[in-house]
Amino acid sequence: MDFHNISNEPEKALLICADTGDFNAEASVNELSLLAESAGARVEGTIIQRRDTPDGATYIGKGRLCEAELFCHNSDIDLIICDGELSPSQIRNIENITNVRVIDRTQLILDIFALRAKSREGKLQVELAQFKYALPRLTGKGKALSRLGGGIGTRGPGESKLESDRRHIMRRINMLENQLADIEKRRSLLRRRREKNGVTTVALVGYTNAGKSTLMNALTDAGVLAEDKLFATLDPTARKLSLLNGQSVMLIDTVGFVSRLPHDLVKAFKSTLEEAAQADIILNVCDASDNMCTEHIEITTNILKELGCNSENIITVMNKCDMAENVFRILPFGKTVMISALKGINLDLLLKEIENCCKSSIVELKFLVPFTDGSAANEIRNSGKVTSEDFSPDGTVLTAIVPTHIADKYKEYVIE
């Protein structure tokens, strides 16, 4: 069966969902609609069916699928998107009944990730997740990839083609995993170097489209793409951030989360997510104007727990507070700051909260640095905030707020 959309118009999509009570179906479909729009589709309608379990053959049941077929015919639907994970036989059955191309939630997210990935690592991670998704679905893909059947003239080639494709995918998966392992080694070396140099790392995490990239741009002028789309940015970005007291930290953006994020994607982006797990401070950015804000905080918190993050180092950042009707109803316990990254509201309060979390790693001291060691004076100036500077016959007198590793490095010059 061939499906073609020869126009440049957005693909018209119908969303279908089997509501088994395991999750909030309405919220999940709303999120699926945003995902579809991020991929370039235009959602024309949704069909939700309450049932104990998804139908093994047609996902939502043949009766509702006939309704879907009629809707697709009357509305010229190009694509059906299922809010769940489909088997190859389910995809084939739905396509045969509706005569419309079908993808599931995981395929949609993978497509968006493939669209957004720009760095070599991001592209490798997406390709790995795509192959891992495709591998168990080779059978049932059609005559080209499955056994042709019994009898004269039908033995052999189909199965050979299937095994050949399976071996090719396995080889490619191994190659991708080895390449990503090499990248992870380099990332680990950079992480250990930052730890050795005493660099404090602050990771931006949170639900996709919560405003992480906008916040990063507001704090560091990073120039990161910021759009009102899910997964507008995918590749991690690291920038130097200067706090109000002059201390410098490394601010790291990470991939956004969604509910029911495909397991293979979490595994593929493990090295990126570990930037959050290994960070000294975590900013959990939430969209305070979203009706699902509380659920989004819970999703992100659960993923952070899975990554082994220390909850004491998490600052909840309620972004877009200027657009929220009643932000106080969703304030969680713990360290929380209400901001608007786009309008610059309360960014100083956020920087102050980051400073408070960093206090254990900074100290105010007075140094007497000999004129012969100008590099030490420069490092003290660049690593912290100099509150006073004078000159004496013996050298440069600096009073500065510096990280503890700088204080330890030049403790021989400390006079107060």
Question: pLDDT of 130-147, one tens digit each?
Answer: 888 888 877 644 444 444
CATH value at residue 403: 3.30.70.240
Q: Which of 85, 36, 22 has its CA nearest to residue 59?
A: 85
Q: Does residue 192 belong to any structural domain of this protein? A: no
Q: Does residue 397 belong to any structural domain of this protein? A: yes
Range of the domain at 383: 361-413
Question: Can you spell out the DSSP letters for 125-165?
Answer: HHHHHHHHHHGGG-TTS-TTTS---SSTT-SSHHHHHHHHH
Q: Does residue 187 belong to any structural domain of this protein? A: no
Is a pLDDT exceeding 80 seen at residue 346? yes
pLDDT tens digit sequence for 204-244? 888 877 888 889 889 987 655 555 555 545 556 788 888 88
More confident residue, 414 or 268: 414
Question: What pLDDT score was predicted for residue 195?
Answer: 61
Is the same domain home to 382 and 408? yes
Q: Does residue 6 belong to any structural domain of this protein? A: no
Is the same domain home to 61 and 161? no
Q: Does residue 331 belong to any structural domain of this protein? A: yes
Summary mean pLDDT of the chain: 80
Q: Does residue 3 belong to any structural domain of this protein? A: no
Is the same domain home to 95 and 173? no
Tell me phi and psi for residue 53, to 5 degrees. -140, 155
* 13 bridge partner residues: 43, 79
Mean pLDDT of 246-256: 80
Among 133, 148, 181, the domain-final residue is 181
Is the same domain home to 126 and 107? no
Mean pLDDT of 374-389: 86
Question: What pLDDT score was predicted for residue 156?
Answer: 47
pLDDT tens digit sequence for 48-104? 999 999 999 999 988 899 999 999 999 999 999 999 889 889 999 999 999 999 999
Q: Which range among 87-101, 140-154, 194-208, 347-361 shows the weakest confidence by mean pLDDT?
A: 140-154
Is the same domain home to 174 and 297? no
Q: Which of 204, 267, 209, 253 has its CA nearest to residue 31?
A: 209
Q: Does residue 190 belong to any structural domain of this protein? A: no
Q: Does residue 191 belong to any structural domain of this protein? A: no
Is the same domain home to 206 and 354? yes
pLDDT tens digit sequence for 273-282? 666 777 888 8
Structural domains counted in the chain: 4
Is the same domain home to 233 and 265? yes
Is a pLDDT exceeding 50 seen at residue 190? yes
Among 146, 181, 216, the domain-final residue is 181
Is the same domain home to 354 and 365? no
CATH value at residue 37: 3.40.50.11060
CATH value at residue 243: 3.40.50.300
| Residue 225 tokens, joined | 């793409």
Is the same domain home to 206 and 349? yes
Question: What pLDDT score was predicted for residue 141?
Answer: 46
Q: Using 50, 70 and 90 to split pLDDT, how confident is the model at 269?
A: low
Is the same domain home to 264 and 352? yes
Angle, CA 19 vertex, CA 14 and CA 20 arms, to 5°: 150
Is the same domain home to 292 and 211? yes
Among 181, 215, 234, the domain-final residue is 181
Is the same domain home to 220 and 236? yes
State how beta strands 201-206 and 281-287 pair.
parallel
